[in-house]
Every structure is written in structure tokens, then in C-alpha cells.
Amino acid sequence: MKVAQAGLTTTHNATRVKTTTRNWRVSGYRGGLLVVEFARGAVDLLNLCVEGGSLGLLRRDDVDRIVFDAYDGEPEYYDPDSYSPAFEIEEAALAENLRQLAPGTRLLDAFCGQGREARLLAAQGFEVTGIDRLPVMIERARKYGKAAGFDAEFTVAEFERYEAAAPYDVVYTSAWMYSTLQGRECRMNFLRHCRALCAEDGVIVISYKVRSTTRHWPDRLRHIIARTIALLTCGNRGVELGDRLYYGLFWHHFAEFTLDQEIAEAGLRSLSTHNVNDGKLVFRVLGAAAND
């Protein structure tokens, strides 16, 4: 039986969970919360209620801590020798495309993890600087760079506080990361920071998950539950339609028009859009808005 989701928080790596014949089980304790797993099928509605409740109950700081622990606790999950998403081939095509769009070769690989994308980008001739806030990721990225035989500089840094000696021709933010930011204000700060790090004629790559355009009710119901619980518990009153909590991580699933507004408000415009993984994940290449 495939384990799909979890309760108060979720397991980071669902594939590692042992199969079980029960509908749910308490599988651990993380960041002060019990981790409860549910089996797919029997309890979809229960999953939805628990996820909505968690989104309302947990404040943003709590979620940040859970996410930090999720990455820090399982660095081996991102080992490029054992982990390569099905859409990596599409990421490689995007890297090739970027070479045509970028005015030069200086590239910031933000949220680089253990250097999986750095290899694809270096293969296109970019001079890659990879940053990640976790020392364990950077240590592993350096080893991976040596073993796989590509050149890149890896540095421990928090993206939001990172300052560069010179602007980058490309600011590449890793798969999904735009969807992992909690709330509009945080996303706007993120876009502005990308801009500050990027040359005037440079390009920025962001990527995100898309909300279903055909099946609205689960998102709406989850959101109503989250808002209600937030009000009752003085929890996360900033919870947004499209917010999700699964695999131990926070996600915002976007309606495309929301994203268009945020991009325009940050003084940027879309140069190209790349739907990957059957359209469930989207990369956008952004440049400065023409009249900005």
C-alpha cells in the first residue's frame, strides 16, 4: 500500500516508509510534533482535514523549523548519485536554453543542495556559484563536484542574506523553491532579492507548482478548514488558498494569474515558460520589465 500523506506533519520521504496494512500509524516525532501517516484511498478526506488543520494551527515560524529539520535530517535523500527527478532531462534542456538567453556565464545556483543542478549548468559552460544554508549540503556538493568532474564554487549562505561581489548573468533558483515560500510578502522579497543579485540584462529562473484548474473543491475545503482553525487558535492567519503541507515541507500551489501579478509587481516579466513533469511543475525565465 502506498503511503500518501501524513497528519500533523508529513514524512519528508514517503517512499522510505514501510508498507503497512493499516490505514494510519504514528511513525515518529519531529520538531515537537507527532508524525502520523495515512494510506491513500481510505482516508483522503481525513488527510485533507488534518492538512488544513495543520496549516491553520502552525505559525510560519513553526513551519520554517519543520522544513529546516526535514532538509537537515535527511541530507542523503538529495544525494545526486541516488536522487534524480524524472524531469532532470527537462532541466538539462532548460540549462541549454539559458545559455542562449543569458548575457554572460556568471550563474548563481541558489538552494543548490548537493550540486545536482550545478552539474547540468556547468556542462553548459556556466561559471557556477552554488549556495545552500546547510553546511552538510555544501560539504557533500564539494565532494560531488570533485567526483563527477565539474567546476563550481559552493558556499554556505542563506539566500535572503546573500550578497554578491558582482551581479550574476543568471540567478537560478532550484526546482519548486518559489512554491516553498510562505506568503505573498515573503515571495515579493524573494523576487526583489533575485533582482538585486542579477545584472540589468540578466535572467532569473523560478519554479513552482500549479494548482489544479479542474478540481477546485479540495483546495477550497482545505483552505476553509485552515482559516477556521487559524482563527480559533490564533494560528497562521496569513494562510492562503493553495497552501499545502506534505512530505514534511510547505508548498504554495499557484494559480497562474497570481504569479503573473507578483512577477509584474517586482518589475519583472516572463521571457519563457517551461512546463515539466506533465505540467505539474513550471519553470519561468524572467527578465526586467521593458519599462522598468
Ligand X SMILES: C[S@@+](CC[C@H](N)C(=O)[O-])C[C@H]1O[C@@H](n2cnc3c(N)ncnc32)[C@H](O)[C@@H]1O
Question: Does 242 engage in binding with ligand X (CB under 6 A)?
Answer: no
What residues from 38 to 77 belong to the interface with ligand X (CB under 6 A)? 71
Q: Which of 49, 92, 134, 241 binds ligand X (CB under 6 A)?
A: 134
Question: Does 117 engage in binding with ligand X (CB under 6 A)?
Answer: yes
Grid coordinates given for 143: 565532494
Distance of closest approach, residue 123 Cβ to ligand X, in angstroms: 15
Q: How far apart are the C-alpha atoms of 138 and 115, rounded to whole Å?
A: 8
Question: Does 111 engage in binding with ligand X (CB under 6 A)?
Answer: yes
Q: Which of 174, 179, 182, 207 binds ligand X (CB under 6 A)?
A: 174
Exposure on the CB side of residue 87, measured as CA atoms within 13 A: 17
Which of 207, 288 has the CB closer to ligand X? 207
Question: Does 116 engage in binding with ligand X (CB under 6 A)?
Answer: yes
Q: How far apart are the C-alpha atoms of 251 and 97, rounded to whole Å?
A: 27
Which of 96, 158 has the CB closer to ligand X? 158
Which of 72, 200 has the CB closer to ligand X? 72
Q: How many other C-beta atoms lie within 10 A of the C-beta of residue 279? A: 9
Which of 116, 244 has the CB closer to ligand X? 116
Which of 51, 117 has the CB closer to ligand X? 117
Distance of closest approach, residue 55 Cβ to ligand X, in angstroms: 19
Q: Which of 52, 53, 56, 113 binds ligand X (CB under 6 A)?
A: 113
Residue that the C-alpha cell 519563457 belongs to: 272
Task: Work out whether strand 281-288 and strand 268-276 pair parallel, antiparallel, or are unpaired.
Answer: antiparallel
- Contact window for ligand X (CB under 6 A) among 33-41, 50-58, 112-120, 277-285: 112-120
Q: How far apart are the C-alpha atoms of 261 and 56, rounded to whole Å?
A: 25
- Contact window for ligand X (CB under 6 A) among 15-23, 152-160, 216-224, 274-282: 152-160
Which of 132, 262 has the CB closer to ligand X? 132
Which of 39, 63 has the CB closer to ligand X? 63
Q: Which of 44, 96, 151, 158 binds ligand X (CB under 6 A)?
A: 158
Distance of closest approach, residue 79 Cβ to ligand X, in angstroms: 9
Total residues contacting ligand X by CB under 6 A comes to 17
Distance of closest approach, residue 234 Cβ to ligand X, in angstroms: 26
Question: Does 133 engage in binding with ligand X (CB under 6 A)?
Answer: yes
Q: How far apart are the C-alpha atoms of 251 and 263, rounded to whole Å?
A: 18
Task: Work out whether strand 268-276 and strand 249-254 pair parallel, antiparallel, or are unpaired.
Answer: unpaired
Q: Which of 112, 128, 229, 266 binds ligand X (CB under 6 A)?
A: 112
Tell me the sheet residues that pair with 32: none
User: Under the rule (CB under 6 A), what is the footprint of ligand X?
Assistant: 71, 78, 111-113, 116-117, 131-134, 137, 158-160, 174-175
